[in-house]
Structure formats: C-alpha cells, structure tokens
A and B are shown apart, each in its own frame.
Chain A
C-alpha cells in the first residue's frame, strides 16, 4: 500500500506522513473524534452549559428533558446535562492519572525484568502474575475496604491492577529488542544501560505502549464507574458518571434519565478509546 521509504523524507514531512496515515484509518478517525469530543466537552464545560453541576433546586426535581434542562433534572433538581459535561473532567482526570501511574511504575519494572538476570525476572513476573490473578474489581474492593472510599483511594486501586499489563508488555518488548544486533553492538561500544534504555528500548516500544494505554483508558473508565456505582469510589456530590447512575436505582419506573445519560456518556468515551486503540494497533501491525 504505502511503499514510500519514509526514512528519505525530512522529519517534518515524516510526521505529516505519519499523521495522514493514521487519519486514513477509519477506526483512528472515529475513535479519535469521540475522544476529542469528550476532551473538548471537559475543557469547554463552562461555555457549553450555564447550570452549576452541584447546585440543588429542590422544587424542580426529577424533571424530564426540556428546553431549559436538556437532559432533565435529577432527584436534587440538578441539571443532568451540566453534570454529564463536568463529569467528563472527572473521567479524564481518572484516566490520565491512573494510566500515568501504571505506566510510570509498570514500564520500568518490565524493562528491569527484561534486562536483568533470570532470577530477578522470575521474581518480578511472579509479583506481577499475582496482581494479575485478581479480577480488577475484586482487588480494587480489597484496597478500598482497607483504605476507605473516595476518589484518591479508588485511583490507587485501579492504577495498581493495571501495572502488570505494562510490566509484562515492556518486558516482552525489551526481551525482543535486547537481542537485536545494534543493541549488542552499542553495548559493546560502551554505551551504558540508561542510555540504551532511553534511546533504543523506549523509542521502539512507544507504539505498542501507546496502543495499550488507549485500551487501558477504556478499562479505567469502566472500572471507576463501576466502583463509584457501588458506592466505593467517588463520593457525592461530585458528578462522576458512575455515581450519577447509582441514583437512578431509587427511581426505577419514575425517571430513567438520571441513569440514561451518564451511561451514554460512558459508552461514548470507552467506545472512543477502544476504537482508537484498535485502529492504532491495525496501523502498527501493518508497519511491522
């Protein structure tokens, strides 16, 4: 398909070429657009809606969607649309922090595991396997029961159970790269490990790691929403999508909008990340 030898192009056109290749893939385009939608909603929240997400209006509770309240009001009279939009901020915060922590801890662990001797590798992978054996929610529940509920503790728990994925991935990538000739050559020439890691290993691992991060992002959103829904995560009145949906349980048959719209927001966000990740993986597979 694209048989241009990109190493011949100048760096600027190389990035432009990369971007156009990426965008040509429909999954990346659609997924990227959805994620961008969420990011924009979060960033531009005050411009999109004038309603305060935590202000109560007790005389206008549980209203259906109308011109004044596009998504209706919840059981405290708060505007649902505004809460969904501001909720995007919480969601993106959850995703960024959690993925960042998992990567910052998991990737170095994986690289060390890949470069170090067999015993160290076995030890690190054993710990990772143990964490990995726990279903994410179960581990998160265990941690929350010890640390207490709340956004911070929930994020600690979620970051923790995503670490093994990055550790294993970067370990495998490192193992694969370790034996490549040019790394052995660099090592013989006296290039020391830190430089080997940053220059060769990380640079060549970025692709798969980015793909993994988009897939983890989707999982984080669902896990955080589930935990908050169960009352173990974000506490009211923060407009987290999962917390909002748990309100709806008390009004089944009376008002479904309280749960409908946050759930839709979750779907769009997770779908965006998953489709984007799929597309990135396709593009990368073709380039290999």
Chain B
C-alpha cells in the first residue's frame, strides 16, 4: 500500500513537471483566446459563424481586407478597377505569395476559389454571399482576374474581405482536407486542431507581409459562462469573447482585466414558421411581438448589455430606421389580436434553440404563457440545431418546428446582406436563412430595387420602406441587438473588434 502511494507520487510529480513545461513556452509568446463555441470548420467558405471567422482570420486573406479603421485596403490584390457599369471589375494580384502548403497564389487559384462557390453542386455553407451577385470570375493572365457581376453590390469589396471571399489553397480544397486542416496565405498557419479542445496557430515564416502579432495564437472554447469568467480572471486565458453578460460587472471590477463594449451588429430574433397553422396569420405573429417585454428580456438575459430591437436592421447599419416602433409591450392588445384571429385560448408551439440561447427561450416561455401561448423549448446541440433550423418546409412540419431562435449579423456588409438572406422569397431555407419561409412581393421588390440603387439617399428611403413593410408583417419576433463585449487581460493590446463580434487578434501584443 505505501510503496504504491510513493510510486504514484513520483509519477504525478514527473507528469506535472512535463505538463507545466509544455504549457508555458518560455521564449515564444502565446496569446490564448477563449470563445463560447468550437469552430465549425477550417474552411472559411464552408461556414457562416462569427466565432469561426475569428479563428480563421489570422490564417486566411482575401483580395481585400478591412483595415483597423473599417476601411477597405489591398491584401492579396494590389489594385482594382471597374468599368462605368460597375458590373465588370479587374483585379491585379500580389506577386510572390504562397499558400501554407507551398501552392503558389495566382489567377488560377483565385478562379478556382470562386468557381467552387459558383458551382451549385458543391453545397458549401458560405456560397450564398457569392452567388447572389457574382456572375463569373475569369483569369486574364497570371496575375490578373476579372469579375462579372449580376448586379451592383455596394459591399462587393467587403464581401471579398472575409468568409467565402477568403482564399484557400486549391490543392487542399481538391484533396478534401481543407475542412480539418486550414491552408491559406495568412500570417499564421495551423499547427494543430485538437478536436473538442483547441486550435493552435503559429507565425508563418513565409508570409509575404509584416506581422506584429504573438508567436502563437491558441483558440479554445467553453460553453459554460462560469468557466469563461474564471479562465480570464485567473489568467489562464488572455481574452474571452463574447463575455457572458452576467459576469461583465465582476470583470469590470477586476483590476487585471479590461472590459470592452461596443454597439453590436448582431440582431437576435425568433423566426416564426409562417407555414405553421397558427403562425400563418399575421395577427398571431404581431401578438407575439406585442407580448414580448423587450426591456425585461434585456435586463434578465443580457444584464443590460443589449438594446431592444425595433427593426430588422441593426443600429450600426447606415440605413437603420431609429423611429420605427410598431410593437410596444402591450399584453391586452396581444390578447385582443389572438382573439380576433380565433385563438382566444392560446395555442401550443415549439421552438428550437441552441444551448447559449436556452435561457432566452425560457423567458419567452414565461412571457407568452401570459397570452395563452404554450411554448415548448427544444434545446439542441449545434449540429442538430443547424439541421432543424435550416430544414425545408416539409421537414419542419414533420418535426413540428414552429420557431427558431437565432441571430444574424451582416456586420459591415451592408443592408442587402442583412435583409436578403432573411426576408427574400429566394432565400427560403435550406438554401438561405429565411427559416420561416416568409414571402412578400412588396418586400422582395424593395430589397431588389434597393440593391441596385446607387444613389445613397434613394437607397436609404427604399430600405426604410422595407423595414416598415417587414415590421408590419412580423415574420419574426425581434428581441435585441447584442453589444459586442470582449474582455482582455491588462497586458494585451492591439486587438480590434469588428461589429458583429468578430475579434481580430493577428496584430495583438502581449506584454
């Protein structure tokens, strides 16, 4: 018995020494960031999640990039021009750039990257953004490509800067390894993706440009707010994003931590399945909006770190209508509407949510029960939820999915990319994000016309009309605009937050 203990003590001691040596590289600086969900893929074109975009950002680049001040700057393209119609663009590519696996970056690579999105057989998750307005991409010579657009998109250059616009190594894409092993041109390359544990990135010694960031970046995640809080407070991680709002106060009071808050671009809502019997009636949908006490929701769920949402567009969007306010909290009016629609005694409905939003759904459950609506909350893990949320009409009917709690952030991509994927008839799930199959000719026309209007004032007016139209038809119950909240240890600087929660750490400095 005693010798067993002694052996064990020696082994544990040895184990600890080894472990402690492994986790603190004495000479390399390592920045550790913790988020609240694992990355969905290592291929930027095959995902649309903000917190995957953050992980991939140091490793990939597009033809353009968003500078620190939010303006477009050249990245893999040196310069570009367009003709008068705005539909034909020519890009001059940067020479002597290689992907992490050694494949050269050139016009062929660009063409292959965009063709894989234009190819309707592929089914990559991020292709939507490309397909809506890009007609074709062709090689002109080794370092020149041309784009033909279907229609004008004011956010064209921004689309090129992230998501499906990021360049992946064609060799890795063809080999099918790109999903698990990142392969781009960025200042960092993938060292290890330990499934379920972490993603480790290391400085790319062959990078074409300058990088002032740390030697290593490590991404980890936890779905538990308490863990994120403690990890930062104890110094185990350097940055957490997003900050669980209940702990924001505690973090603010911690002298070793900086809490950064900015108005967000993510709109949180409940998408209502307009093909469900009760929800097909606009009065019912309006009633749900009226029965939602947004202020109380913001206080209880977001601890004040959010704004009640009054419109489909977020405040950071230049075309946002601040004055729109169709649904002040009014239980009586809600009940009257339900009665008029024939549901004086209420009705049952079910909602699909992911774990981080479960509390919000439960609050809604409590609120809507006051007008007789029995909300069944079905919590699902990410893969299962994605399938349920993006299911088509038949599948949703079979599963009984009446509503989905989700959010959408078009960030700086402009109003079209916030409204079209959610409200246009052509965006029905599973092809787009119109999860509730909302279809209104007037809305479609407004969105389409606004997208090709070059005059800013006219476009703004069109978008105002669209917001009003959408609000009246209430395809969703709008909840709130979540603030972008991240927190970092005091010795970290050089971190930039793009509206929508996408944190950029490639130039961070750890003292």
Contacts and interface: CB of A to CB of B under 8 A. Distances in A.
Contacts of A249: 224, 226
Contacts of B224: 249-250
B226 A253 contact: yes
B247 A76 contact: no
Nearest to B303: A61
B319 interface: no
Given A231-B379, A249-B224, A55 B250 contact: no
A21 interface: no
Interface string A73-108: 001110000000000000000000000000000000
Given A56-B363, A56-B366, A250 B300 contact: no
Nearest to B225: A250
A252 B247 CA distance: 10
A4 interface: no
Interface in B147-198: none
Interface in B345-369: 358-359, 362-363, 365-367
Identify whether the interface residues of A are mostly helix, strand, loop, or mixed: loop
B363 A58 contact: yes
B226 A54 contact: no
B297 interface: yes
B230 A251 contact: no
B226 A237 contact: no
A204 interface: no
A121 B225 CA distance: 53
B341 interface: no
Contact of A59 (B226, B244, B299): B299
Interface string A225-238: 00000010001110
A209 to B, nearest CB: 39
Interface string A48-73: 00000011101101000000000000
B299 A251 contact: no
A130 interface: no
A235 B366 contact: no
Interface string B255-266: 000000000000
B250 A253 contact: yes
A260 to B, nearest CB: 15
Interface residues of B, number: 23
Nearest to B359: A75
A19 interface: no
A254 interface: yes
B259 to A, nearest CB: 16
A236 B362 contact: yes
B379 A76 contact: no
Nearest to A61: B300
Nearest to A62: B246
A58 B296 contact: yes
A35 B377 CA distance: 33
Interface string B289-301: 0000100110110
B415 interface: no
Interface residues of A, number: 19
B229 interface: yes
A51 to B, nearest CB: 14
A75 B250 contact: no
Contacts of B244: 250
Contacts of B362: 76, 236-237
A56 to B, nearest CB: 4
B293 A58 contact: yes
Contacts of B379: 231
Nearest to A247: B359
A251 to B, nearest CB: 6
B246 A236 contact: no
A253 B229 contact: yes
A252 to B, nearest CB: 4
B225 A236 contact: no
Given A55-B366, A58-B293, A236-B362, A251 B226 contact: yes
A3 to B, nearest CB: 46
A235 B377 contact: yes
Contacts of B226: 249-253
B246 A251 contact: yes
Given A55-B366, A76-B362, A237-B362, A254 B300 contact: no
A56 B226 CA distance: 23
A144 to B, nearest CB: 14
B296 A59 contact: yes
A236 B375 CA distance: 11
Contact of A76 (B246, B250, B293, B366): B366
A252 B250 CA distance: 11
A77 B250 contact: no
Contacts of A253: 226, 229-230, 247, 250
Interface in A235-264: 235-237, 249-254
A234 B385 CA distance: 20
B246 A77 contact: no
A55 B379 CA distance: 21
A85 to B, nearest CB: 19
Contacts of B230: 252-253
Contacts of A236: 358, 362, 365, 377
Interface string B222-249: 0011100110000000000000101100
Contacts of B299: 58-59, 61
Nearest to B224: A249
A76 B300 CA distance: 7
A235 to B, nearest CB: 7
Contact of A254 (B247, B297, B377): B247
Contacts of A75: 246, 300, 359
A75 B362 CA distance: 11
Interface string B35-66: 00000000000000000000000000000000
Nearest to B369: A54
Contacts of A56: 300, 363, 366-367
Contacts of A61: 299-300
Nearest to A56: B366
19 contacts: A56-B300, A56-B363, A56-B367, A58-B293, A58-B297, A58-B363, A59-B296, A75-B359, A76-B363, A76-B366, A236-B365, A237-B362, A237-B366, A249-B226, A250-B225, A252-B230, A253-B250, A254-B247, A254-B250
- Nearest 3 CB-CB pairings of A with B: A56-B366, A252-B226, A58-B296
Interface of B: 224-226, 229-230, 244, 246-247, 250, 293, 296-297, 299-300, 358-359, 362-363, 365-367, 377, 379
